[in-house]
Structure 1
Amino acid sequence: MVDSELFEIAAHLDLIERNSALRGFATESHYRQVAEALKRSQTITELNAGRILDNYGEYHPSPSFLDILQEYNVSVTVGTDSHTPEALTDRVPHVAGWFEEKGIAPTELPV
């Protein structure tokens, strides 16, 4: 998908992590393959905050995948996955804190 250059943004790269029965099947090798493809590509990945405030409590991609993406200097943009104004208000501070903690800025997309 990434190599096709058909998409500007790749979201939910580790969607299987959302399902507790499938969580953990993706390996570091899988993550590195995707990171290598993204590094070669103009496709930007999304930091998705849709599950940060629920029982899963993590961003997508998962923390270990995000670490690998950072290692490969892969660009990351933000998606709050907010379906209501209240969800947006609740998630934005968490996302801003994540970028501050990592010492990086989100990639801004041309509009």
Structure 2
Amino acid sequence: MTQPRPLELGLEGNDLIITWSDGRRSRYAPQRLRAVCPCAGCNEARRHAVPPVPLDSPLPDIPQTVAFRTVEPVGNYAYKIGFSDGHDTGIYTLDKLYQWGEPA
């Protein structure tokens, strides 16, 4: 089966909404996506946490006030997402976004 493609992105309140080509609408809270950032810096923070945090686990201590600032496409496979805390190095693949989305 082909991975669904994003057709539309928008904000509802503080949440990112993606409408996918299979008709699914997914909701993403900024705190959740910031906490699961897959960038090298966040993975390093997970490794050095006491106790260490598994690489596929959310980072603790993400402020509840964090918000989306930018969402930019990276080729046709991902989005680079910037947050209000200044963090903007995470590349979120479409397959991960599709998996992580809550029903909107």
TM-score, normalization: structure 2? 0.26
* Structure 1 or 2: more strand by fraction: 2
TM-score, normalization: structure 1? 0.25
